[in-house]
A and B are shown apart, each in its own frame.
Chain A
C-alpha cells in the first residue's frame, strides 16, 4: 500500500512509468531525479503523510560534503555511528551495502523513501 502510494508520487513528480519504480531503483541513476525533484518529492511526502521533513532527514546529504572513509579506505566508524543515530530508518542491510560499495548513491533508492515513511508512521 505504502509502496504503491510512493510509486504514484514518483510517477507524477519524475514523469516515469510505474514499472520503472521499484524499491531498488536509484532515484538519480535509474529515475533521473535532479535536485529540484528532491524538493518536490519531499513536499509531496509532507502533503501525503502530514509530516514536516527537513532537508537531510531522509537522505544522508553529509556524505557528499565530507570524507566518510578512514585511513584504510573503509567507511569510518564515525560515519556509521552518525548514520545509525541520525538515520534510524536505514536498516542494517542498507548500512552493510554502503560499507561494501562505499557509494552514497546506495541510500538514494526508492526503498529509502518507503523506509523513512514507515519509520515515521511507526514512531
Chain B
C-alpha cells in the first residue's frame, strides 16, 4: 500500500490545502473576470483563475539560505512548485535537510514547456542569455532539487494535462517496486500569456464566456469550454510501512493506477480510452466497479470531453457513483491539474465530503452520471477515482483509499 503523507498546493483559491478545501466546499470559485483594459485582454478570453503569488522568501527563506540568489532565476511556475513542495514536506514532517543526499528519495514533476513570451519583444542578441534556460521543461524540477537537496532519481513528465497524474502514478509504481523510499510527486503549470490565451481560444478549447455563469460549466447543457487556471500541487508518497515506521500521519492511500492512450485523434477524445484507463486502475487495485463511490472527473466543460467521459463512467460504473469536476472552482491548471485534483480526492476521503459542481444548470442530457449538485454533500466513501485526460489522447485514472478505516501494513 502506498501512503500519501504530505500535501501542498498553490491555486487560485489559495496557497494552503485547508483554506483551498474549505473554499471549495463553500462553492467559491477562483475564477475572475478579466477587465477589457487588462494587458491580457483581446485574445478571446474573458475569465481566468490566477494564483496569488506565494512568497517563498517570506515563508521559507530562513530554511533555505541559497534562496535569495536562486529566486532571481525562478519563473513563477518554479516558485509555485517550490512553495507547494516546501508546504508538503512540512505537512509530512520531513525536514528537507533529511531528504538531501539520499538516493532513496525521488522527485517526479509533471510540467509543460512555455514560450518565454516575457522576452520575445527583445532581440535575441539583446536578451540576458539566461532566458534560454526557461525553455527547458525540467527547469522547475531542477530548482526544487537544488533548494531541497533531493538527489535520488528524478524525472520531468511533459504529457499535457496528464503530466501531474502520471507523476503520481509513476511515483506509486516506483514505491511498489521498491525503487525508492520516498517520492515527491508534483504538477505545476502556468500558461497565462497572450500566445496561450489566443491558442486555447482559437482552438475553441477555452470558454468565450464573459461572466462566471457563462464560463466553465462542466456537464451542463450550455458548456462551452474550460477557463484557464494556474497552480502547483505536491504530494509526498511513501510505502505505508515506511510511513508507520517514522510515525507519519497518512492522509489517504493510493491503490490503483491506469494509463491508456486513445490512438484515435489529436483533439477528439475517446470514451473507450477513458474507460480503459479506469478499468486498468480497478484491475491494478484488485477492486470491482461498485467499490468506487466517487469520481473526480477530468470535467473540462468542453462538449466532447464531458460527453465521452460521462459515457465511459456510465458504462464502467453503472452503480452511479457521485461525480464532480474541480475545474469550475480552480480553473484548468493543465499539467498541474492531476495533482491538484488528487489532493481534492484525498480531502474528500478524509472528510467524507464532496465539493459542489458550479454552473451545472441545466445539466446536459449527454452527461448521464450522478452529479454532485450546487452545494457540498456529505458522502460515505472508502474509495474514489481521479480521472485526467490530455490532448493527443492520453488518459489516467488513479484510485485513492480512505486511510482511517483500514488495517495498517505490518
Contact of A36 among B66, B71, B130 (CB under 8 A): B130
A36 to B353, alpha carbons, bound, how many Å?
A: 49
Chain A residues whose C-beta falls within 8 Å of the C-beta of B73 in the assembled complex: 36
Q: CB within 8 Å of A: which of B61-106? A: 66-73
Interface flag for B410 (CB, 8 Å): no
Q: How far is the CA of A39 from the CA of B130 in the complex (A)?
A: 8
Q: Give CA–CA (A15, B61) in the complex, Å.
A: 12
Confirm or deny: B129 has a beta carbon within 8 angstroms of a beta carbon on chain A: yes
Please, which residues of chain B bring their CB within 8 A of the CB of A36?
Answer: 73, 130, 133
Determine the distance from Cα of A16 to Cα of B69 in the docked complex, in whole angstroms.
7
> How many of B's residues come within 8 Å of A, CB to CB?
12
Cβ A15 vs Cβ B70 within 8 A: yes
In the bound complex, residues from chain A placing their C-beta under 8 Å from that of B66 are: 15
User: Is B406 at the interface (CB under 8 A from chain A)?
Assistant: no
Min distance, Cβ B224 to any Cβ of chain A, angstroms? 45
Partner of B72, one of A13, A32, A39, A43: A13
Q: Is A15 a contact partner of B128 (Cβ separation < 8 A)?
A: no
Q: How far is B130's CA from A86's CA once the two chains are assembled, in angstroms?
A: 27
Minimum C-beta distance from A105 to chain B (A):
20
Segment 130-174 of B: residues with Cβ below 8 Å from A: 130, 133
Q: B125 — nearest CB in chain A belongs to which residue?
A: A52
Q: Are A14 and B128 in contact (CB under 8 A)?
A: no
Q: How far is the CB of A48 from chain B (nearest CB, A)?
A: 12
Query: Cβ of B67: which chain A residues have Cβ within 8 Å of it?
Result: 15
Nearest CB in chain B: distance from A93 CB, A: 30
A15 touches B130 (CB 8 A): no
Residues facing B in A1-39 (CB within 8 A) are: 12-16, 32, 36, 39
B128 and A40: CB pair below 8 A?
yes
When C-beta atoms are compared, the residue in chain B nearest to A12 turns out to be B72
Question: In the complex the two chains form, is A39's CB within 8 Å of B129's CB?
Answer: yes
| Bound-complex Cα distance A36 to B69 (A) | 12
In the complex, chain B residues whose CB is within 8 Å of the CB of A14: 69
The chain B residue with its CB closest to the CB of A17 is: B68
B298 to chain A, nearest CB (A): 38
**Could you tell me if B129 and A15 are in contact, using CB atoms closer than 8 angstroms?**
no
Among B67, B71, B129, find the residue whose CB has the most chain A CB atoms closer than 10 A: B129
Q: Which residues of B contact A39 (CB under 8 A)?
A: 128-130
The answer to whether A43 touches B128 (Cβ under 8 A) is yes
Whole-angstrom distance between the Cβ of B249 and the nearest chain A Cβ: 35
Residues of the B chain whose Cβ atoms lie less than 8 Å from the Cβ of A40: 128-130
Q: How far is the CB of A42 from chain B (nearest CB, A)?
A: 9
0/1 interface trace, chain B 109-139, chain A, CB 8 Å (1 if under): 0000000000000000000111001000000
Q: Which 3 residue pairs spanning A and B have beta carbons closest together?
A: A15-B69, A15-B68, A43-B128
Can you identify 8 A-B contacts, CB atoms within 8 angstroms? A12-B72, A15-B66, A15-B68, A15-B71, A15-B72, A36-B73, A40-B129, A43-B128
- Beyond the given A15-B70, A32-B69, A43-B128, could you list 16 further A-B residue pairs with CB under 8 A, ordered by the A residue number? A12-B72, A13-B69, A13-B72, A15-B66, A15-B68, A15-B69, A15-B71, A15-B72, A16-B69, A36-B73, A36-B130, A36-B133, A39-B129, A39-B130, A40-B128, A40-B129
